[in-house]
Amino acid sequence: MDQLEEFKEIIKNSDNIVFFGGAGVSTESGIPDFRSKDGLYNQKYDYPPETILSHTFFVNNTKEFYKFYKDKLNAIKYEPNVTHIKLAELEKEGKLKAVVTQNIDGLHQKAGSKNVFELHGSIYRNYCTKCKKFYGPEIIFDDDAKEIPLCPDCGGLIKPDVVLYEEGLDDETITGAIMAIANCDTLIVGGTSLTVYPASGLIRYFRGKNLVLINRDSTPYDNMATLVIHESLGKVFSNI
């Protein structure tokens, strides 16, 4: 049986699927990959992106942070691709129980997914660092938004609900992701090389039957997987 047929068969016979996705899920929507050669890290700016996207930089150089953030991380104009759409359909059918993602672009929810664990947060949520009130993306990304967004209620500094360098992951999100992975019977991992924390650690909680890895390049977990497909996610998901 060829790999795509085998993948279809696994999906058909599973009703407790979890999808774990990395940057590769979003690049097929046209969103640049943080770590790829022509991604954010190699584009010219005054500081390297990993410096700008750090907690210290946010606190000390807030204006510069927001200049970069608005310029490079505004993904609200992007649309879900076939992978996001098929995953949302599988959830609707009751087969898929959760999506765990390292992306912050909200595309799974835009495609209709409900149970999404966003390990690194979302550009769609922002909160006042003083009164903790939450705001949507417009307070940052609107054309007439201020250079440094401030809370209309209390004047406090608004921060994106995105995990910056030097910051820890949200406990509730990480626990939810671990529970979903530990309890599923099929784990599909796509668009990640599985070399970066927390992806590498989370996979270890899987105790189910089918581990499916879909990635263009090989990963350190290829030899543990039930099925490995070195192919683009879009090609694989447009086939199911």
Contacts to Zn ion by CB under 5 A: 128, 130-131, 151, 153-154, 156
Nearest approach in angstroms of CB 161 to Zn ion is 14
Q: For Zn ion, which is the closer residue by CB, 156 or 208?
A: 156
Side-chain half-sphere CA neighbours of 78 within 13 A: 24
Q: What is the pairing mode between strands 121-128 and 134-135?
A: antiparallel
| R_g (Cα) of the chain, nearest Å | 18
Q: Tell me how far apart the terminal alpha carbons of the chain are, to the nearest angstrom.
A: 15
> How far is CA 147 from each of CA 67, 68, 150, rounded to the nearest angstrom?
7, 11, 9
DSSP 79-117: ---HHHHHHHHHHHTT-EEEEEES--S-HHHHHT--SEE
Q: For Zn ion, which is the closer residue by CB, 132 or 207?
A: 132
Nearest approach in angstroms of CB 129 to Zn ion is 8
Q: For Zn ion, which is the closer residue by CB, 135 or 221?
A: 135
In whole angstroms, give the CA distance from residue 105 to residue 76.
7
Q: In sequence order, what are the residues at sequence separation of 6 or more whose Cβ sits closer than 8 angstroms to the Cβ of residue 146?
A: none
CA 172 to chain centre: 16
Task: From 77, 70, 58, select the one nearest 139 (Cα to Cα).
Answer: 70
Nearest approach in angstroms of CB 218 to Zn ion is 48
Active site residue 84: no
Q: Which of 55, 84, 108, 120 is catalytic?
A: 120
In whole angstroms, give the CA distance from residue 209 to residue 123.
34
**Which amino acid, residue 56?**
T
Contact 234, 83 (CB under 8 A): yes
Positions marked active-site: 120
